[in-house]
Amino acid sequence: MLIRYGYEMTLVCPKPTPMICQLDVHPSVTASVRRDSPFTADPPVPSRLYSDLFGNRCRRFVLPAGRTRITCDGVVEDDGLPDRLALDAGEHAVADLPDETLLYLVGSRYCETDRLSQIAWDLFGHLAPGWSRVQAICDVVHERIAFGYAHARSTRTAYEAWHEQIGVCRDFAHLAIAFCRCMNIPARYVNGYLGDIGVPPDPNPGDFSAWMEVFLGGRWHTFDPRNNRPRIGRILVARGRDAADIPLVNSFGPHVLETFRVWTDEIPSPLTVSP
């Protein structure tokens, strides 16, 4: 299937303001892109891409004083299948984990493993290790937190989400990631596009989504404690330890986000793409 994705934002700056945005699709996705209208700004601003420590694509530029509209639009080809399940995927002993996974085993800005460790072991320590334990973590988080855009707070941590019992998709992901790490299971934070493909349409305006990837059975697997069901058409943007590593917009000066629109829609008929 073909999925159209993109965003449009209007930012207002009181003076020229450097910014770093992580809004371009991840390098692992670029081979599936069938049409790409690249980053544009009105008024025009020069920009350039670089890779961060996690291999994400970061775009840096300086917005002028006043109002600037930035946008991107593209089409990606997807296999149309829901997230893959690997019910027999097992956990690894910490001593046997690959070196590159250890970064996702310890606490981070929004995932306080020290404060959640006892809660995690009380809830999940008696469960059989492996896929079913991670799914149990997702089930608890899904039931614990009430979702609502009005509940969004950029400073909320996993520990606070556990006690406040409210949040948005990033809070679901942070809490589930923290619980996995407490159980010695590497877990990392992911953001990207996720449209209402194969599910009833959400009446809320489109937004970027957050989920997690967990290392089991020698590879990374997708889990989504917010939706807690396999979904179709995820478009990866960035991965990191938590949201602090991969902010959508990192501004080095004051700005106001005046408008914000995100779209992720299946294209119902074949798209003719010029060679």
| 166-223 residue pLDDT tens | 999 999 999 999 999 999 999 999 999 999 999 998 888 889 999 999 999 999 999 9
d(CA 73, CA 213): 26
Confidence (pLDDT) at 11: 97
pLDDT at position 275 is 46
Each domain of the chain, given as residue ranges in start order, spans: 2-80+248-266, 94-232
In this prediction, residue 38 carries a pLDDT of: 80
| Burial group, residue 164, by CB count within 10 angstroms (0-12, 13-18, 19+) | middle
Tell me the residue type at 184: N
Per-residue pLDDT at 134 exceeds 80 = yes
C-alpha 177, offset from chain centre:
12
Which CATH number is correct for 2-80+248-266, 2.60.40.2250, 2.40.30.10, 3.40.50.300, 1.10.760.10? 2.60.40.2250
Say what the pLDDT of residue 202 is: 86
- Mean pLDDT throughout 56-82? 96
Q: What is the mean pLDDT of residues 75-98?
A: 97
Between β-strands 33-42 and 47-51, what pairing exists: parallel, antiparallel or unpaired?
A: unpaired
Share of the chain above pLDDT 70, in %: 97
Top-level class of domain 94-232: alpha beta
Taking residues 7-11, what's their average pLDDT? 97
% of the chain beyond a pLDDT of 90: 92
Question: Which pLDDT value is given to residue 270?
Answer: 59
pLDDT for position 204: 85
Res. 271: pLDDT tops 60? no
Average pLDDT over residues 157-169: 97
Rg, the chain, Cα only:
19
Amino acid type, 123: L
What pLDDT, on a 0 to 100 scale, did the predictor assign at position 177?
A: 98
Distance CA 102, CA 49 (A): 27
pLDDT digits (tens, 9 = 90+) for 222-268: 999 999 999 999 999 999 999 999 999 999 999 999 999 999 999 98
